[in-house]
Structure 1
Amino acid sequence: MPKLQLVYSKLATREATEAAVTAATLKQLPAARLASIHALPVAPTLKPDGSADISGAKTITLPNAQWTTLDASAKSLLFTFHADAEREVTLRIGCKRPVQTKFNNGPMPSDLGPPGWLAGQIGNIADPVPFHVKLRAGDNFLAVTFTEMVPFYFELDPLGRDLREQLNARLTADFPPTGEARYYKIETVAIPSGIALEVGGMAFNTDGSLMICTRRGEIWRYVNAALQAECAKPGLNRAAMLAGKTPSTSAFFGDRWELFATGLHEPLGLLTGKPGEVFVVQRSELTRIVDTDGDGKADLFETLDQNCGVSASQHAYIFGPVRDKAGNLWGAISGIGISGPGKYFGWSFKVTPKGEFIPVSSGLRSPNGLCMTPDGDLFITDNQGEWVGTSPLHHVSPGAFHGHPASLKWDANFKGDASKAEELAKIRKLPAIQFPYGTMGQSLAEPVVDTTGGKFGPFAGQMFVADESKCIVVRVALEKVDGEWQGACLPFRSGFQGGNNRAAFAPDGSLYVGQTDRGWGSTGGKSFGLQRVVWNGEVPFEIETMKLTADGFDVRFTRPVDRSAAATPANWSLSHYHYLYRAQYGSPQQDITPVKVSSATVSTDGRAVRLKLPELRTGKIYELHHANLRAADGTEPLHTSAYYTLNRVGRK
């Protein structure tokens, strides 16, 4: 059958164009419509063709493409569709609780896995799932049976998969998305019913599959055909791959969810090793988990270290692991909620290949994110609270004290008073970055370095940090000053569906973000999920870096700036402030002080602006905004702010 084509004509708006094109295109297709919906008080007994006895059923109507809560008497719905000839349509269905589904008394076809993956049930789907169904000539039947009366979503899209994809592509070309979505698209990965994917850790295998551990103690393997194809090297026996006979690939070359392991104790980090091998941290230990016989299921659970002990507190977790160049596995232990026989609360640690446990640095509070850079530097995010005025990014070095004194109980070298802030401040290693609370996140999670070599845009080598409460990802541009790391944090992408807890770059250069609200709630509203951020290839006009100079800052952009506007000091706004180091929970911004920009000088290549200031003060966060700036070609800026943590003023 020849591929159907759109009858396309661009109108003034996206909405008007979509409506007109849909109407014109449908004229060339056999008619297909929703004929009726019957509400039944019990689950129907389906006939072989999918129809049922509707005696005593009530005929109802449902708004198309909307969430609706049905009357409590409607235990099942029977949809009847009529088609003049065989053709494809798309049904989008969602429900807040599981529902049983049958289409023409068979499974619902879905893109979520192999045939029949959602044959009997869908549920807990806040984002409706598309089912591309082929209508036979005549009547077709969809039976939906509910477990309880909760919001239900139904939509009939008469275009079908191919025509809808054609239309979406044309609409995107003619009406490009604006703001962050114009450059970085967020895509939601559909999660099968029954999987509560409260992501605690995730990492990619060399074959492109994604290993995910959950708060509930499971490890899942998500297999995506496109990612596997990206990883398939020339010379790989594709027939063996498809047959599942290579140890590093799935038996099913397509989207699939496979349960790898269960029974773990709140794992909050995962690292992949050899094919079939992962490392996780649980509340009481560092564990190596292996599939030794190649059947896709873990059968070896090896304890690598238990020196951390375990706490009875709900706040006591272990985070990690990450691996350094020497093969050491690193982790971090929560410094709050100390209860029980555990030790080294609030410490970072490493476990050597020989199994030796070595505590490294102290003073951590709730270190929910570790990142080992390609150069071997370990960075850890922490969260605002007691002794932490705002959420920071720490650089770990042996013997460092990061600020929270509960950990000093296990520091034999500390002889002072752990309750006195002025005494602790003398030994405290300042954070590399302090993130302005609320503006640049609120509950920091995992940081990752962009190692994609440009596949993710113009920020290669920079760090991206997930945030759980605000459902955002922020960007970090670091530099070394006097041998210590400091730098700027900048806005990157908002609008995620739930609390961003873990992040990992995929082989195709996209950024996968694993989500959970862990019962605390987040601005996104979803309790768990998995999304990916994809760069569309267009470079946004952004501040790329903000670096310290002898008398101010050098602000570099991703594209050449309009020289006249950038050289006008009045178009630049700076202020500085700090957060208190104290025992109380958090801190408001202190001593907010405007800073005059004495001069602004544009570089020869037009991409950097040197801002000269009257003075520089250490221990401050410098908040930068620009106004009236555009790129040299007139492109508007995507974001207009940056926040530099200034600990040292000496040069590199």
Structure 2
Amino acid sequence: VGELGRPSELAQQLFGGGNLTNIAEKRTNVFFRQWLSDPARVNPDHRMPQFDLTPLEQLDLVTYLSSLAGTSPDEQTSATKGNDETQELAGNAEHGALLISALRCNTCHQLPESLDTDFDKIPLKLDSHWDRGCLAEANSVTHRPGFGLNPSQRNSLREFWKGTPAWTHRSQSGEALLQENNCTACHARDARPGIKQQLSEIVAAVPAVAPRLAALAPPSLTAIGDKLHDDALQAAITRRAPLLRPWLDVRMPRFQFSETQLNSLADSLIAHDRIPPRDDDATKLAESETESALSETVNQLAAARLVTAEGFGCQSCHAIGAVESPKVDLNARGTNLAMLGERVRPSWFQRWVRNPARIVPRMEMPAIQTPVRGVLHDSLSLQLDALWATLNTPGFTPPRPGPVRVIRTHNDTNIDDRAWLLSDVIEANEKAFIRPLVFGLPNRHNFLFDLEAGQLTTWWLGDTAYQYTRGKTWFWAPGAALLTEPEQALERIRIVDAAGREWKPTPSGQIAAHYDGSMHRDATLQWYGRLHMTPSDSQGQADAETPARWIGIRQTLRATAFGDDATTQVATRLTGLQPGDRVQCSSSARATGPASHSPDSWQLELQLGQTLFEITTQNEMQLLDASRWELVPKKSTNEQERVEAHAVDRTVQWLSSYRALVPTDQFPQTPVAELIVKPQAIDAVPGYTGIQLPLPPSEMPISLAWSDVGECFVGSLKGRVLKLVDGDRDGLADQYELISDELPTPYGLWAGSEGIDALAKFGLIRLTPAHTAGVPYDATMVADGWGSTADYHDWAVGLERDAAGNYYMALPCQQDDRSEAAAYLRGTALKLVPLDATQDSRRYRLETIAAGLRFPMGLALSPDGELFASDNQGNYNPFNELNHLQSGKRYGFINKIDNKEGFSPPFESPAINLPHPWTRSVNGLCFLNTPKTLQLDAPRFGPFEGHLIGCEMNGRFLVRMSLQKVGDTFQGAAYLFSHPPSEHEVLRSAVASESDNVARRSAVGSDLKPTSFEGPIVCEVSPNAEIYVGNLHDSGWGGGQNTGSIVRLTPTGELPLGIAEVRATANGFEIDFTHAIDSDKARDVSHFQLRSYQRISTPAYGGDDQDQRNESIQSVNLSEDRRRVTLELKSLRAGFVYELNVAPLGADGTALFPSQAHYSMRSIPDKE
């Protein structure tokens, strides 16, 4: 609220507030509280500006000011006698009143009415005694004060009076008010630096404020009279304006200005600062203060790009409306730019953005002097005009800054662009499209077909899509504003049958249009599928008695023109129509005239806002009204067409040519700097040589698969399938080759002879090489049918495949409110059973194996056909789990839709409970089985052969699990497989993430050498019996960057001494070690510690250890080869977890690795 850097200097100035060094000797706590809250009650003529303080802040200030005394409080109220004794002095109110009257205190001071007395004032004249009276020394006899002026000062005062005989009090000038109110004590203005020059002294006095140094200085007042409109300037002075810089710690107080003073101060600032209008390119558009020369739509399309990092970068420092800027340093943070014209003058804006430092030296904002290429004919003046107009358009919402990834084309025939297809959730027009097909064409035209509604819904110009994170959620958003409003659509499809009934797309499950596949062909992007159509009667009521029909649909999109007048054709073909069917299409657009007919075709032109499109068809067309038209099918003449139409011989097709009435921007192709990534050694896994492959960190591996020829394929969290490429042929993959379009989180992959099967959120997609080079593989939907929503965590996880060709997958649970269709099969494990060829593309039917899963993030199929799944701790799951999935079983989680009174099925216990927080998020799984194709003499994984590996993402390590079958029950133990990162490495990694993890980890010669994993999420054994571990760092789970890596682990055959396996016996445990152990140490029971405990499943998150017991070991037996110890306990408890810790047992005293095991005792073995 003020500055104490040089208190004595400011206090001694003419309008200083006085020295506060010993203020508590003069004032009390009660005074301080009153003065800070309402100084007018103390002195109506005060000059004290008033701050908005919270009660706590007032109390803090009162406490501090009360401490500013040279003497103690007791000393302040006593007088000292000559013999050092003190006595309290009693006051006399009546005597005090007489003194006030005698001393004429009311001549200068305002007094209570009872003490205010009128006095005859002595007139001051030219012949007054200027050498005596008050100008001389004080006279205690007559109670006359004296100012003690010397003769020279008295003469100066007399001469001043002589020259102004009619002198009266004049109004204060604005500059005087600026000085009197100490505005430049805080604010910089012109050559006056304000408080900034004293910040170093403030930090020296109060070091705790150093991190907030930039928040201690208010904005500069230089050119403020030119910057703000007249009313905005007065609102800022009086603090009527909304708070524009809430991040500042320094506070501007409220001043008690009269209307005359306010006008004087504002007029002075305007007169000094404001630059008269002038006619030049930099200001003439803005100073006219007229509407922009461009249309509002053109302005908004341009500005939506100009404000981003791909334009002028405004969003790097400024919020715009509700769209906040990313994390930005305090000294660079700017005000919200929405509707800034309500306070800022346009001519100042034009001058400011072109050269801010010319107005305020050392301003952090860069000068905008170069136009953004590809926007508004590369004209800087037009761009700045569009920016100004759009920022002052109510409701303008720019793209959210800081996307993780951008899908972009260029609208330039000189650039070899391809089309893009995105099928993940996208948020647009305040709606989440859960099953979209987003097409990004090379001419920067973008279309969205909504599979949920079965219609071509909207389109936009510019970037195709931006991928963002929000908390732990990932989502997409259009790269520019839509050219349609909510609830509008470009093309809707209906069928009217021979009986006059209308058939429209309605959901089968969740969606009305079922996607069957897509492909890139000859500069086109095609998709095909089926519309689920149901009828309604003449009154529009649903006809539930008539079975639904499936109508085939195929759409082909092609960019046919580029540049400002870019055009895109959307060809639509419907098959499966019956005799008498007529196709009726409707749109939110309206026809510009009647349908026209040429010898070969019919045409119809429609317009919707800035969208113009023309329908061309060889089918007979009739315009029903301004927004509906009808097409009559014709018979197919081509046998192949009849086959594609599933033997139904009636088709309708039309061609829609779309162009915008505003120019389409171009995006220049900028060279991308080659990212050189060095391989890094990973030494976290004893007995293995680890190397982090030199791959770009931009992809985040979540699934791995190898083809029969040894090619490795990777699924990325960012939504694509890639192939690993060894570009320099050094034996280490160093490049990713994209083979898919954009899919939602492909958490499962399998590479087989039929193609690459990718398990995405909504279905199993088969990818097969395209006939066109340089484009994604063809995609075919081979299985789907489970529910999903916009919830990012509605993943599908897998894939495992058995010898019969059955796939296995699992679906995370449902915890929110949703429809039955959206909750269908959530929280279950599924078997995908191969089907014979069907009329559609589906090649598998779904068969439920088990239910009650929470987040089954890893699946593993044993050579014996036993299926296991990892599951994560949370509500109902007090442990992380390894579940043995058995047909018909239900595990511990309950979906919200199932959680009803009376629902209490029997639950199957996990095979292994992995304690939390020892593990926090065990995800991918794999069995350590040596591939049979290697034909090795011995298993590659030694004593760990047949064990499982699990990926602990949060803790950044791998766990190993061994299984023991007791009767029909699987149970077992968990151990560390890799060393968790040390505290030093965790801290070092956190620093790297904060300062730019990608650059530091990937740069040539980087000093950040990873010794552990980035964040294991998936693991698989390669055909060469090497373990590949996919890692990621997700900003939603740990801050920092969204990066990934792949680590290859090669067995060396030299394991350290440690626990190999723990198994339960009828009265204890057998412990196998990787090597022989010391006999004497092994027989010492104190080297083994066991405790048992359980956790209870509840709807609450997690669970505490219960019924803990430190186990008493009765005896220890060592095998002849000294590699097995048998522990005998007094008793065992089924349903409990046993935590085993073993002291060093080697001859050299080296700690074991692992030295700890967690055994889940589901069932106690029988005695042999």
1:172-204 CA-partner distances (Å, limit 9, x unpaired): xxxxx9x85553343211223xx6211221112
What's the counterpart of residue 265 of structure 1?
744
Q: Does 1:191 align with 2:695?
A: yes
* Residue 538 (structure 1) aligned to one of 1054, 1063, 1080: 1054
C-alpha distance in structure 2 between counterparts of 1:228 and 1:573, whole Å = 48
- 1:293-372 correspondence runs (5 A): 293=771, 298-338=776-816, 339-340=818-819, 341-342=821-822, 343-354=824-835, 355-372=844-861
Q: Residue by residue, what CA displacement relative to the aligned partner does 1:377-400 show, whole Å, maximum 9, x if unpaired?
A: 110001111100011000111111
Query: Within 1, Cα distance between the matches of 2:896 and 2:1060?
Result: 37
Cα drift, residue 640 of structure 1: 1.0
2:882 pairs with 389, 393, 413, which one? 393
2:1127 & 2:1014 partners in 1: Cα distance?
38
Greater RCO, 1 or 2 (C-alpha within 8 Å, sep 6+): 1
1:305–1:369: structure 2 CA closer, same or farther, 3 Å change rule? same
Distance 1:346 1:621, change over 3 A: same
Q: Is the 8 A contact 1:311 1:337 kept in 2?
A: no
What residue number does 2:1134 align with?
A: 618
Q: Which residue of 2 aligns with 1:403?
A: 892
1:589 matched to 2:1105: yes
Q: Structure 1-normalised TM-score?
A: 0.64
Question: 1:279-327, CA deviations, whole angstroms, 9 ceiling, x for partnerless residues?
Answer: 1211111222112659686533121222213222222111112112221
Q: Measure how far apart 1:415 and its partner are.
A: 9.8
Kindly indicate whether the alpha-carbon contact (under 8 Å) linking 2:814 and 2:826 is maintained by their aligned counterparts in 1. Answer: yes
- Does the 8 A contact of 1:497 with 1:526 survive in 2? no
Change in CA separation of 1:509 and 1:361 when aligned onto 2, cut-off 3 Å? same
The one-letter amino acid of 2:1020's match is: A
Verify the 8 A CA contact 1:208 1:224 in the aligned structure 2.
Answer: no
Give the superposition deviation at 1:523.
Answer: 10
Identity of aligned residues (%): 26
Structure 1 residue 210: Cα displacement:
1.4
Q: Is the 8 A contact 2:957 2:1013 kept in 1?
A: no
Give yes or no for contact 2:759–2:798 (8 Å, CA) kept in 1: yes
Query: Is the Cα contact below 8 Å between 1:315 and 1:337 reproduced in 2?
Result: no
Question: 1:506 matched to which residue of 2?
Answer: 1022
Distance in 2, matches of 1:294 and 1:567, equals: 70
Change (3 A) 1:512 1:207: same
| Code of the aligned partner of 1:267 | P
| Structure 1 partner of 2:1162 | 647
Q: Residues 912 and 973 of structure 2 are in contact (CA less than 8 Å); yes or no, is this contact kept in structure 1?
A: yes
What residue is the counterpart of 1:217 in the other structure? Answer: 719
Amino acid of the structure 1 residue aligned with 2:884? H
> Quick one: structure 1 residues 457 and 629, their matched pair in 2 at CA, closer, same or farther if it must change by over 3 Å?
same
TM-score scaled by length of structure 2: 0.37
Residue of structure 1 equivalent to 2:1084: 568
The one-letter amino acid of 2:967's match is D
AA matched with 1:353: P
Structure 2 residue corresponding to 1:121, chosen from 649, 673, 679: 673
The 3 A distance-change label for structure 1 pair 603 and 227 is: farther
Give the match for residue 145 of structure 1.
none
For these two proteins, the number of residue pairs brought into alignment is: 457
How far did residue 345 of structure 1 move? 0.8
Partner of 1:204: 706
Q: Distance in 1 between matches of 2:1160 and 2:1068?
A: 13
Report the Cα offset of residue 532 of structure 1. 2.0
Preserved contact between residue 209 and residue 222 of structure 1 (Cα < 8 Å): yes
Write out per-residue CA displacement over residues 99-140 of structure 1, whole angstroms, 9 at most, x where no aligned residue: xxxxxxxxxxxxxxxxxxxx95145x8xx648xxxxxxxxxx
> How far does residue 433 in structure 1 lie from its aligned partner after superposition?
0.5
1:546–1:286 CA distance, 2 compared to 1 (3 A): same
Deviations 1:327-352 (A, max 9, x none): 11111111134535320110111110
Equivalent residues of 2:831, 2:848 under 8 A apart: yes
Distance 1:293 1:588 in 2: 58
Aligned pairs for 1:64-103 (under 5 A) are none
Structure 1 pair 226/505, CA: closer, same or farther in 2 (3 Å)?
farther
Which one-letter code corresponds to 1:466 in the other structure?
C
CA distance in 2, matches of 1:546, 1:630: 18
Partners of 2:1150 and 2:1040 in 1: how far apart?
Answer: 30
Partner of 2:398: none
SS for the counterpart of 2:1139 is strand
What is the deviation of 1:226? 11
Match of 1:5 in 2: none
Query: Where in structure 2 are there 5+ consecutive unaligned residues?
Result: 1-363, 367-403, 406-670, 836-843, 931-937, 982-1011
**CA–CA distance in 2 between the matches of 1:353 and 1:306?**
13
Deviation (angstroms), 1:357 = 1.1
- Could you tell me which residue of structure 2 aligns to residue 559 of structure 1? 1075
Matched position secondary structure for 2:787: coil
What secondary structure is seen at the aligned counterpart in 2 of 1:508? coil
Per-residue CA deviations over 1:452-497 (Å, capped at 9, x if unaligned) read 2643453111111111111110000101012111000011113434
Q: Give me the CA root mean square deviation.
A: 3.4
Residue from 422, 429, 434 that aligns with 2:908: 429
Letter of the 2:1095 counterpart: Y
| Runs ≥4 residues deviating over 6 A | 225-229, 523-526
Please say if residues 961 and 973 of structure 2, whose CA atoms lie closer than 8 Å, have aligned partners that are also in contact.
yes
Aligned to 1:629: 1145
Query: How far apart in 2 are the matches of 1:446 and 1:607?
Result: 31
Show CA shifts across 1:229-276 (max 9, x none).
8xxxxxxxxxxxxxxxxxxxxxxx9754311112212211111112x7
Q: Taking structure 1 as reference, are residues 264 and 181 closer, same or farther at Cα in structure 2, changes over 3 Å only? A: closer
Where 1:401 maps in the other structure, the secondary structure is coil
* Equivalent residues of 2:694, 2:733 under 8 A apart: no
| Whole-angstrom CA distance in 2 between matches of 1:312 and 1:255 | 34
Confirm or deny: 8 A CA contact 1:462 1:477 kept in the other structure.
yes
Tell me if the contact between 1:291 and 1:297 (Cα under 8 Å) persists in the aligned partners.
no
Match of residue 64 from structure 2: none
Output one character per residue of 1:5-43: Cα deviation in whole Å (capped at 9) or x when no partner.
Answer: xxxxxxxxxxxxxxxxxxxxxxxxxxxxxxxxxxxxxxx
Contact 1:209 1:228 in 2 (8 A): no
Deviation at 1:623, TM superposition (A): 0.4
Matched to 2:1164, the amino acid is V
Q: Which residue of 1 aligns with 2:865?
A: 376
Change (3 A) 1:566 1:180: farther
1:207-232 CA distances to partner (integer Å, 9 max, x unpaired)? 33210011222111113489998xxx
Q: Is contact 2:721–2:746 with CA below 8 Å preserved after alignment? A: no
Distance 1:326 1:508, change over 3 A: closer
Contact kept, 8 Å, 2:1094 with 2:1106, in 1: the verdict is yes
CA contact (8 A) 1:285 1:309 kept: no
The CA distance in 2 between the partners of 1:475 and 1:523, in whole Å, is 28
Change (3 A) 1:183 1:294: farther
Q: Does 1:473 align with 2:958?
A: yes
Distance change (3 Å), C-alpha of 1:263 and 1:386: same
Q: Tell me the secondary structure at the aligned position of residue 977 of structure 2.
A: strand
